[in-house]
Amino acid sequence: MEKKTMMKLGLSMRYLGYHMAAWRHPDVPADGGISFKYYLETARKAEAAKFDMIFFADGVGIRAADNPKGALSHDSKNVELEPLTLLAAIGACTSKIGLVATASTTYNEPFHIARKYASIDHISGGRAGWNVVTSWSQEEAWNFSKDEHLGYDERYERADEFVDVVKKLWDSWEEDAFIRDKASGVFYDESKLHIPHHKGKHFKVRGPLNSARTPQGRPIIVQAGSNETGRVIAAKSADVVYSAPFDISAAKEYYTDLKSRLPSYGRTRDQLLIMPGLTTYVAKTRQQAQDKFDQLQELIDPLSGLSTLYSAIGDLSAYDVDGPVPDVPAVNSIGKNLIDIAHRDNLTIRQLYKRRASGSRQLIGTAEDIVDDMEQWVTGEAADGFNLCPAILPGGLDDFVEFILPELRKRGLFRNEYESNTLRANLGLSPLAFGK
Ligand SMILES: Cc1cc2nc3c(=O)[nH]c(=O)nc-3n(C[C@H](O)[C@H](O)[C@H](O)COP(=O)(O)O)c2cc1C
């Protein structure tokens, strides 16, 4: 069978872009993070470009610590709009693009999540998706009456049961349960109501959900993270995985492993899409693309730069950023490795934090360079598509649309038109049978 190479594209549009200096870029509105207009305009551009979905990562609080002292006040990522509220508003002003937001299984109850995402699916006519995360910071615990964040294993065990409960709640009503027969006075068919009566280690939820079955059957489930329990949750329940591999061999290993787990849950390989994060810097020439990257790197504030080294190396704020990386004891093995690299390559502190600044995998070059790489990943079974994480918004998206999309389309790698009005169908996922 010929390998299907048409790729899926998501737009990760948190904050003002994924580069740590995004907010200082001359084309970026520094107050965009709390502006609905800013997000809506970007979402509309993504819809005009036929992206499968917009995607909001999230944390329930300010997660960065003020290290070194003062660094937090130089960081734009301290305020943002709550993503589900934002999705509901964007959903009402768009008609095709998928709407995915992150919500934590550690700091929510399953009923809240089932109900809210079901509502977004109804409001948007079948475009909602939930990115399941467990949260990772101590700072989030402090916002929820807890002194300590739950341990890794317990968090993931809770997440596994949480997702099961949410799915049961979404299956409370069969699709044709509501007959609403005015003549007979019967509103719903009792035989089509399924009360979950869930009792598990972490949750006791009777149900049913007070929302009808949603246009997609249930919202799309996305999973981000790569540990063993995360992979089990993904193989069992996710429709999309948002991953973060940095090279093609790691991506292939992950892809092969996840796809091979699906049959044991009665699922086929094409029922789970793997979409790694990707940041692109593109222009007509390689030099111009490099200049775009360099311009942002130059804008990194020294205190913000030092904060990227703090957890691994400690506080370097007493040293000259343009001097050599000092021979201090590292905090952990990542720090030791960074100091070794700095000494080997004769890096200054500034040069070292610049290397640390990029979040997801990044490609710098012409459209042909970048599409060659993307095509290799998709045809080589390392990815089914990508979650674009632009360095700046909306500029990074504008460049992608101007340069990269035409090249993808020329090679038959991306759609010209939406196939459907639902996210599930646009992702090429088959309709969901009740109870699956
Ligand atoms: C691509 C990607 C996106 C993520 N997005 C979020 C997020 O929005 N919010 C969050 O709390 N955690 C997020 N995480 C963290 C994961 O949910 C997970 O806690 C973390 O990756 C550690 O688990 P792991 O060892 O399984 O990767 C993300 C992880 C990855 C790889």
Q: Which residue puts its alpha carbon closest to atom 15 of ligand 1?
A: 225
User: What spacing in Å lies between the alpha carbon of 47 and ligand 1's midpoint?
Assistant: 26
Q: Which residue puts its alpha carbon closest to atom 9 of ligand 1?
A: 58
User: What spacing in Å lies between the alpha carbon of 346 and ligand 1's midpoint?
Assistant: 33
pLDDT score, position 360: 83
Residue where a domain terminates, one of 325, 356, 387: 356
Q: Is residue 434 part of a domain?
A: no
What is the signed CA dihedral for 227, 228, 231, 236, rounded to 10 degrees? -150
Paired sense of beta strands 98-104 and 204-205, if any: unpaired
**pLDDT, mean of residues 405-434:** 96
Q: Is residue 277 part of a domain?
A: yes
User: What spacing in Å lies between the alpha carbon of 115 and ligand 1's midpoint?
Assistant: 23
d(CA 341, CA 321): 16
Which residues span the domain enclosing 202?
8-286+359-426
User: What spacing in Å lies between the alpha carbon of 104 and ligand 1's midpoint?
Assistant: 10
- Pair (25, 94) in one structural domain: yes
- Pair (189, 334) in one structural domain: no
User: What spacing in Å lies between the alpha carbon of 347 and ligand 1's midpoint?
Assistant: 30
Residue where a domain terminates, one of 333, 356, 379: 356
Query: Is any ligand 1 atom within 6 A of the Cβ of residue 222?
Result: no
Give the total number of structural domains in the chain: 2
pLDDT score, position 89: 97
- Pair (233, 171) in one structural domain: yes
User: What spacing in Å lies between the alpha carbon of 132 and ligand 1's midpoint?
Assistant: 9
User: What spacing in Å lies between the alpha carbon of 406 and ligand 1's midpoint?
Assistant: 31
Ligand 1 nearest atom to the CA of residue 132, by list position: 17
Q: Is residue 2 part of a domain?
A: no
- Pair (50, 196) in one structural domain: yes
Q: Is residue 207 part of a domain?
A: yes
pLDDT digits (tens, 9 = 90+) for 263-318: 999 999 999 999 999 999 999 999 999 999 999 999 999 999 999 999 899 999 99
**Token digits for 220?**
């799309």
Query: Is any ligand 1 atom within 6 A of the Cβ of residue 242?
Result: yes
Q: Is residue 59 part of a domain?
A: yes
Q: Work out the pLDDT band at 4, boundaries 50, 70, 90.
A: low
pLDDT digits (tens, 9 = 90+) for 106-129: 999 999 999 999 999 999 999 999
Query: Is any ligand 1 atom within 6 A of the Cβ of residue 83?
Result: no
- Classify residue 419 by its DSSP letter: S
Query: Is any ligand 1 atom within 6 A of the Cβ of residue 230?
Result: yes
**pLDDT, mean of residues 345-364:** 90
pLDDT score, position 9: 98
pLDDT digits (tens, 9 = 90+) for 167-183: 999 999 999 999 999 99
Query: Is any ligand 1 atom within 6 A of the Cβ of residue 225?
Result: yes
- Pair (57, 142) in one structural domain: yes
User: What spacing in Å lies between the alpha carbon of 224 and ligand 1's midpoint?
Assistant: 5
- Pair (119, 225) in one structural domain: yes
CA pseudo-torsion sign 25, 29, 35, 40: negative
- Classify residue 409 by its DSSP letter: H
Ligand 1 nearest atom to the CA of residue 137, by list position: 11
- Pair (389, 347) in one structural domain: no
Q: Is residue 294 part of a domain?
A: no
pLDDT score, position 226: 79
Q: Is residue 292 part of a domain?
A: no
- Pair (386, 267) in one structural domain: yes
- Which one, of 220, 239, 18, lies nearest residue 101 by Cα? 220
Q: Is residue 146 part of a domain?
A: yes
> Would the pLDDT of 339 be above 70?
yes
User: What spacing in Å lies between the alpha carbon of 201 and ligand 1's midpoint?
Assistant: 24
Q: Would you call 165 exposed, middle or buried from its count of C-beta atoms within 10 A (0-12, 13-18, 19+)?
A: buried
- Pair (196, 277) in one structural domain: yes
- Which one, of 22, 86, 95, 19, lies nearest residue 55 by Cα? 86
Domain CATH code at residue 150: 3.20.20.30
Q: Would you call 15 exposed, middle or buried from its count of C-beta atoms within 10 A (0-12, 13-18, 19+)?
A: buried
d(CA 313, CA 162): 37
What are the angstrom distances between the C-alpha of 53 and each of 97, 122, 257, 368?
A: 5, 16, 25, 24
- Pair (184, 235) in one structural domain: yes
pLDDT digits (tens, 9 = 90+) for 55-88: 999 999 999 889 999 999 999 999 999 999 999 9
**Token digits for 52?**
């499968």
Please count the other Cβ atoms lying within 10 Å of the Cβ belonging to residue 169.
25
pLDDT score, position 2: 45
Query: Is any ligand 1 atom within 6 A of the Cβ of residue 188?
Result: no
- Pair (202, 129) in one structural domain: yes
Q: Which residue puts its alpha carbon closest to atom 3 of ligand 1?
A: 224
pLDDT score, position 225: 75
pLDDT score, position 394: 97
d(CA 165, CA 184): 34
What are the angstrom distances between the C-alpha of 150 and each of 65, 103, 137, 153, 166?
A: 18, 16, 9, 8, 20
Q: Of 13, 58, 87, 136, which is best to mutate to test ligand 1, by the most ligand atoms within 8 angstroms of its C-beta?
A: 136
Ligand 1 nearest atom to the CA of residue 14, by list position: 8
pLDDT score, position 282: 98
User: What spacing in Å lies between the alpha carbon of 410 and ligand 1's midpoint?
Assistant: 34
- Contact status, residue 368 vs residue 285, Cβ threshold 8 Å: no
**Token digits for 237?**
């329940």
- Contact status, residue 314 vs residue 326, Cβ threshold 8 Å: no
Residue where a domain terminates, one of 315, 336, 356: 356
pLDDT score, position 159: 96
